[in-house]
């Protein structure tokens, strides 16, 4: 009961409500604009959060996360271009349905299923995060090391990219985290005599570079691209018939999305693809998928929004990001002096339940704003890239500079922009780099401390049941893409 | 035969040095090897201060892993070649060059002048020819950003010919 009052506390704080409102609007704008999205947006807004108190800052980031994930559906349905990677599966049926003159119906279903998925996942978060945090009390350094390894091996199954390329990108991310003074011995590593590098490479320059700047370079190759926008009169609430067709799909995808979200490193993109595939598998009319199936939209959208709450579970309970955007939120927590983990649940419950409550409210807010404002948000895509991207560049550069007031950070951001562009061009996802970077210090730190505990005996890891379980799960995570590939080949 | 298959086939028939998978793998392995060389230059901690492993061990292991995985990726590409990428357009090289120009201007002249010039160049070469819009992205918006960061966040930007004028 006490926790329930903590959850709804943000409703009675006008400051948090204002932050939520602007966070939701900003999230929707970011979600609508192809190439941006909650991860880039969160990274860009992070320096601005320094003027806010920790709770308001994290509430702002989570509102952007929830609304941005939904916002991607608007562009996916109206211009056949996913505003965010998580909305890629929504294009498959959303755009064909919009072409049939039913854009309002498609957006209505996307909005309703996103809200249901989002709220279901917050409920999962409220019940599951404290349980996981309690379990984490049993974790020592070896267990955290094994958990971080599990998180990294999960990178192998991110999205549709090559598992090995994802692992290379993840290892690259960890390698970046080793730059600077070694935290245990103060020995310089990869600093090349540059003083500013002794503090290491910051998270924000890398994220802004890999996401925003690399996208700017990608957009420079697409300047002649023309979008065919489908006309939208108004968003329509789903009919009773549509609800009958989709309620099972929405519930199933909400479950799938929440579960996928909880897994370290996975996120909305994987959730929506699986949600969509399962919706098709269970559908009575699978032949309609790809031609404007309302179940397809519901399956993908409920799953990607359900992943938002799910991904917050390991982020808050263990300090292990559940997705790229939660890696940004995790950085926000650290910047504001909040250390995620079991102690947070014991010492600052009002902070945590404030986040949970804000996520619930953000879901309701984007329902209202999406329902009545989708037409206006869709118009944002009319801002030409030749105007939009130079502006994003200005904000990226100033935002990156502002955190440490370091020009080196700006150059690092530019360098990672170029690296990110070529990575994406040759099929390497940039998400594993971010996850690797944020887990890097944890992996190395816990490994070295474990070896001190074990007196250098590596086999002692196998004598710790929880650590052993995570290692076995890691092996499964690594072999899963191979099994999936073999299954695919069998079908062919 | 669809376009994808055609392009895959085209990539397979290319000589080794023009093959994307070869070039990318070669670059990754080369850079990793250079970094691996540097790890041998890291200071060695005496056994009494050493906790667990040497500071160089972890980066070494990562670089060896990257090289190993890259070799596997390349060998797999011999069986299933990568999709052939289109040639990069001039607009890409112009945008990339504007990044370098930005670094030079922000280092030697002024941070905000760098942002303004990059914004105008990018906007112009991406097709914006209207003066009003170029002024919007090149002067009005950076000025707005400057004032916002300066006033709201209390940030002090690096010295330069324009910023010095403002600060003085």
**Cα-Cα-Cα-Cα dihedral sign, residues A165, A168, A173, A174:** positive
What is the per-residue pLDDT for A4? 67
Examine the pLDDT at B139 and tell me if it is beyond 70. Answer: yes
Examine the pLDDT at B10 and tell me if it is beyond 60. Answer: no
Per-residue confidence band for B6, with pLDDT thresholds at 50, 70 and 90:
very low
CA B94 and chain centroid, separation: 14
What is the per-residue pLDDT for A427? 86
Examine the pLDDT at B91 and tell me if it is beyond 70. Answer: yes
A427 vs B contacts (CB less than 8 Å): 82-83
Examine the pLDDT at A486 and tell me if it is beyond 60. Answer: no
Which has more confidence, B140 or B47? B140
The Cα of A263 is separated from the nearest Cα of chain B by a number of Å equal to 24
What is the per-residue pLDDT for B16? 62
B156 CB within 8 Å of a chain A CB: yes
The Cα of B162 is separated from the nearest Cα of chain A by a number of Å equal to 16
Examine the pLDDT at B1 and tell me if it is beyond 60. Answer: no
B102 vs A contacts (CB less than 8 Å): 397, 414
Span of A252-261, A328-337, B8-17 with lowest mean pLDDT: B8-17
Nearest residue to A117 (alpha-carbon basis) of A257, A269, A278: A257
Scored b (16 or more CB within 10 A) or e, B1-32 reads eeeeeebbeebeeeeeeebbbbebbeebbeeb
Which has more confidence, A442 or A374? A442
The Cα of B41 is separated from the nearest Cα of chain A by a number of Å equal to 9
pLDDT in tens, A269-291: 778 888 888 888 888 887 887 88
What is the per-residue pLDDT for B99? 92
Per-residue confidence band for B46, with pLDDT thresholds at 50, 70 and 90:
confident
d(CA A65, CA A61): 6
Q: Do B58 and A447 touch (CB under 8 A)?
A: yes
Name which of B73, B88, B153 is nearest A402 (Cβ-Cβ): B153
B56 CB within 8 Å of a chain A CB: yes
B134 CB within 8 Å of a chain A CB: no
The string of DSSP codes covering A399-428 is: HHHHHHT-HHHHHHHHHHHHHHHHHHHTT-
- The residues in B 12-41 lying below 8 A from A, measured between CB atoms, are 20, 24, 28, 35, 38-39
Name which of A386, A418, A452 is nearest B126 (Cβ-Cβ): A386
Which has more confidence, A351 or A12? A351
Cα nearest neighbour of B62 on chain A: A171
d(CA A62, CA A118): 12
Per-residue confidence band for A147, with pLDDT thresholds at 50, 70 and 90:
confident
pLDDT in tens, A51-86: 888 889 999 999 999 988 888 888 888 877 777 777
What is the per-residue pLDDT for B8? 47
Examine the pLDDT at A335 and tell me if it is beyond 60. Answer: yes
Examine the pLDDT at B134 and tell me if it is beyond 80. Answer: yes
Print the SS3 string covering chain B. CCHHHHHHHHHHCCCHHHCHHHHHHHHHHHHHHHHHHHHCCCCCCCCCCCCCCCCCHHHHHHHHHHHHHHHHHHHHHHHCCCCCCCCCCHHHHHHHHHHHHHHHHHHHCCHHHHHHHHHHHHHHHCCCCCHHHHHHHHHHHHHHHHHHHHHHCCCCCCCCHHHHHHHC
Per-residue confidence band for A328, with pLDDT thresholds at 50, 70 and 90:
confident
What is the per-residue pLDDT for A418? 95
B106 CB within 8 Å of a chain A CB: yes
Span of A16-30, A73-87, A184-198, A461-475 with lowest mean pLDDT: A73-87
Examine the pLDDT at B7 and tell me if it is beyond 50. Answer: no
Q: What is the mean pLDDT of chain B?
A: 83
The Cα of B127 is separated from the nearest Cα of chain A by a number of Å equal to 7
Per-residue confidence band for B26, with pLDDT thresholds at 50, 70 and 90:
very high
B58 CB within 8 Å of a chain A CB: yes
Which has more confidence, B160 or B29? B29
Examine the pLDDT at A492 and tell me if it is beyond 50. Answer: no
Per-residue confidence band for A226, with pLDDT thresholds at 50, 70 and 90:
low
Q: What is the mean pLDDT of chain A?
A: 83
Per-residue confidence band for B32, with pLDDT thresholds at 50, 70 and 90:
very high
Q: What value does the mean pLDDT take over residues A406-420?
A: 92
d(CA A434, CA A206): 8
Per-residue confidence band for B82, with pLDDT thresholds at 50, 70 and 90:
confident
Q: Do A171 and B66 touch (CB under 8 A)?
A: yes
């Amino acid at each position: 009961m006490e926790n329930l009052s903590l959850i709804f506390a943000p409703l009675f704080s006008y400051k948090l409500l204002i932050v939520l409102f602007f966070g939701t609007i900003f999230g929707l704008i970011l979600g609508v604009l192809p190439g941006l999205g909650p991860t880039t947006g969160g990274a860009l807004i992070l320096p601005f959060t320094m003027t806010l108190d920790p709770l308001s800052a994290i509430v702002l980031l989570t509102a952007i996360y929830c609304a941005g994930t939904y916002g991607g559906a608007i562009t996916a349905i109206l211009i056949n271009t996913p505003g965010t990677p998580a909305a890629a599966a929504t294009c498959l049926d959303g755009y064909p349905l919009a072409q049939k003159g039913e854009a309002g119906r498609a957006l209505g279903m996307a909005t309703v299923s996103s809200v249901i998925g989002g709220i279901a996942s917050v409920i999962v978060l409220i019940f599951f995060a404290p349980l996981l945090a309690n379990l984490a009390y049993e974790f020592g350094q070896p267990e955290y090391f094994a958990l971080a390894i599990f998180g990294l091996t999960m990178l192998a199954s991110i999205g549709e990219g090559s598992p090995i390329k994802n692992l290379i990108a993840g290892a690259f991310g960890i390698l970046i985290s080793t730059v600077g003074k070694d935290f245990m011995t103060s020995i310089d590593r990869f600093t090349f005599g540059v003083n500013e590098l002794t503090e290491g490479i910051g998270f924000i320059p890398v994220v802004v570079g890999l996401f925003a700047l690399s996208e700017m370079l990608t957009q420079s190759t697409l300047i002649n691209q023309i979008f065919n926008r489908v006309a939208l009169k108004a968003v329509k609430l789903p009919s009773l018939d549509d609800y009958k067709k989709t309620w099972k799909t929405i519930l199933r995808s909400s479950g799938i999305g929440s579960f996928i979200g909880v897994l370290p490193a996975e996120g909305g993109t994987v959730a929506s693809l699986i949600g969509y595939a399962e919706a098709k598998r269970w559908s009575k009319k699978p032949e309609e998928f790809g031609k404007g199936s309302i179940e397809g939209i519901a399956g993908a959208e409920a799953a990607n929004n359900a992943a938002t709450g799910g991904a917050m579970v390991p982020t808050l309970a263990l300090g292990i990001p559940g997705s790229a955007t939660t890696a940004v939120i995790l950085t926000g927590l650290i910047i504001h002096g909040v250390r995620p983990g079991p102690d947070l649940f014991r010492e600052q419950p009002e902070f945590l339940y404030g986040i949970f409550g804000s996520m619930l409210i953000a879901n309701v807010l984007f329902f209202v704003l999406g329902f009545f404002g989708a037409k206006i948000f869709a118009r944002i895509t009319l801002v030409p890239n030749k105007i939009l991207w130079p502006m994003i560049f200005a904000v990226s550069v100033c935002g990156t500079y502002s955190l440490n007031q370091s020009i080196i950070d700006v150059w690092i951001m530019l360098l990672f922009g170029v690296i990110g562009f070529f990575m994406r061009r040759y099929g390497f996802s940039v998400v594993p780099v971010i996850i690797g970077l944020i887990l890097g210090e944890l992996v190395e730190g816990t490994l070295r401390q474990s070896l001190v505990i074990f007196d250098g005996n590596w086999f002692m890891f196998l004598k710790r049941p929880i650590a052993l379980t995570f290692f076995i799960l890691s092996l499964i995570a690594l072999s899963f893409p191979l099994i999936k590939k073999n299954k695919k080949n069998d079908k062919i | 035969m669809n376009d994808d298959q055609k392009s895959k086939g085209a990539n397979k028939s290319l000589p080794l040095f023009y093959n994307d998978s070869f070039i990318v793998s070669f670059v990754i392995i080369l850079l990793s090897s250079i970094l691996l060389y540097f790890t041998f230059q890291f200071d060695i901690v005496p056994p009494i201060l050493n906790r667990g492993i040497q500071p160089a061990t972890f980066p070494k292991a990562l670089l060896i892993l990257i090289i190993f995985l890259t070799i596997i990726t390349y060998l797999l590409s011999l069986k299933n070649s990568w999709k052939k990428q289109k040639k990069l357009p001039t607009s890409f090289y112009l945008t990339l060059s504007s990044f370098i120009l930005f670094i030079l201007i922000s280092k030697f002249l002024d941070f905000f002048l760098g942002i303004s010039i990059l914004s105008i160049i990018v906007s112009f070469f991406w097709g914006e020819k209207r003066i009003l819009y170029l002024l919007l992205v090149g002067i009005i918006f950076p000025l707005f950003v400057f004032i916002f960061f300066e006033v709201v966040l209390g940030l002090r930007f690096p010295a330069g010919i324009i910023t010095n004028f403002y600060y003085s």
